[in-house]
């Protein structure tokens, strides 16, 4: 049986690979993964827009993808050809990337490991409460001169 640490790392890798594949195949621009690191629950990193996915089943937690408006704007320009995206477009792009990444990961996870439809938000919602016993793993990503975070938290 996999240890908790190995399971945690395997889950992180699933999300890293899913994000990498998303950028590589859909934008044809590779993303670079910076050195991942552990962080305390009270010091989460959030950029302008975030798509957050709840994890339930045998492990409880979350994963989110957070980036600034400019990155989502570039993706919209590439995917849809819109040069002047509205705030609604930006939020939808954050939802779209989170959905695709979550969907790819869902296909690779066991039946006891379930992930939700992403919740998309802007800034820091006051309802976001994370217990202290959650391990937070931050994966900084560089794509097309933009920085994004994939952050995984598991009990």
Partner 1 sequence: MMIEGNINKQQDPKSNWLLNLDKIEDKTRRNYFSGLPPEHTLLDFFTYAFVINKPKGRVGGDGFWLHERGDDVYLALFTCVGEGHLAHMMIRIYMNALKRMVNEYAIDYPGSILQFVHGEVQSRFNNKNNILLNTNANIGIVKVNLITKEMSFAGANMNLIQAARDGVRVIEGEKRQVGDTGASKTAYSSIALTDTDTSSFYLCSSGVYNLIGGTSFKKLNMAEFSQHLATIQRYPVSSQKEHVEEFLADWTGSNRQNDDILVIGFTP
Positions touching partner 1 (CB under 8 A) are: 26, 41-48, 52, 54, 56, 60, 62, 68, 76, 78-82, 86, 88-89, 91-96, 99, 116-134, 155
CB of 73 to partner 1, least distance (A): 13
Closer to partner 1 by CB, 14 or 85: give it: 85
CB of 46 to partner 1, least distance (A): 5
Closer to partner 1 by CB, 1 or 28: give it: 28
The first and second tokens of residue 108, run together, are 């690779």
CB of 79 to partner 1, least distance (A): 4
The first and second tokens of residue 118, run together, are 């992403």
d(CA 115, CA 120): 15
């Amino acid at each position: 049986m996999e240890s908790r640490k190995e399971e945690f790392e395997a889950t992180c890798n699933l999300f890293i690979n899913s994000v990498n594949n998303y950028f590589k195949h859909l934008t044809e621009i590779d993303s670079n993964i910076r050195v991942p690191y552990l962080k305390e629950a009270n010091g989460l990193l959030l950029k302008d827009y975030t798509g957050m996915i709840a994890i339930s089943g045998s492990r409880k937690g979350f994963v989110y993808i957070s980036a600034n408006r400019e990155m989502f704007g570039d993706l919209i320009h590439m995917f849809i050809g819109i040069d002047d995206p509205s705030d609604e477009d930006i939020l939808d792009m954050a939802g779209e990337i989170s959905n695709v990444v979550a969907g790819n990961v869902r296909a690779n996870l066991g039946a006891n490991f379930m992930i939700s439809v992403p919740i998309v938000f802007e800034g820091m919602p006051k309802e976001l409460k994370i217990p202290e016993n959650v391990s937070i793993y931050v994966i900084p990503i560089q794509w097309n001169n933009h920085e994004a975070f994939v952050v995984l938290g598991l009990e």
